[in-house]
Amino acid sequence: MLNEDTIEQLTQMMEKLAHRVIRGNMGVAADMLCWTPLAPVIRASRRTRIEDQMHANRLREKASILCEEAIRDHADLLTPAWS
């Protein structure tokens, strides 16, 4: 017999897998809808999603560069004063 914690974990895992499959199927459905009059709406939503991802990546790159510059220029601040 499985205890309640194990059953709960298995249930959560199965729900996650089901949601992943549903999201995957939604992508396939969106691909099929691209050949319908809904195509402009789908293209616009995809374009928006891609632009959001690109913006986040650019911000991440800029922050990384700033952090590297701060570490390079102010490395003395990273060592403890009592050493």
User: Which tokens is 38 given?
Assistant: 């809904």
Q: Which of 4-13, 16-25, 73-82 is least confident?
A: 16-25
Structural domain range at position 51: 27-74
**Is residue 59 one of the residues assigned to a domain?**
yes
Q: How far apart are CA 34 and CA 45, in angstroms?
A: 12
What is the domain count for the chain? Answer: 1
**Is residue 44 one of the residues assigned to a domain?**
yes
**Is residue 8 one of the residues assigned to a domain?**
no
Name the percent of the chain lying above pLDDT 90: 22
Q: What is the pTM of this model?
A: 0.51
At 61 the pLDDT is: 94
**Is residue 13 one of the residues assigned to a domain?**
no
Cα–Cα separations (whole angstroms), residue 74 to 9, 64, 67, 68, 78: 47, 15, 10, 10, 7
Q: How far apart are CA 3 and CA 77, in angstroms?
A: 52
Q: Does 1 have pLDDT greater than 80?
A: no
Q: How far apart are CA 52 and CA 55, in angstroms?
A: 5
**Is residue 45 one of the residues assigned to a domain?**
yes
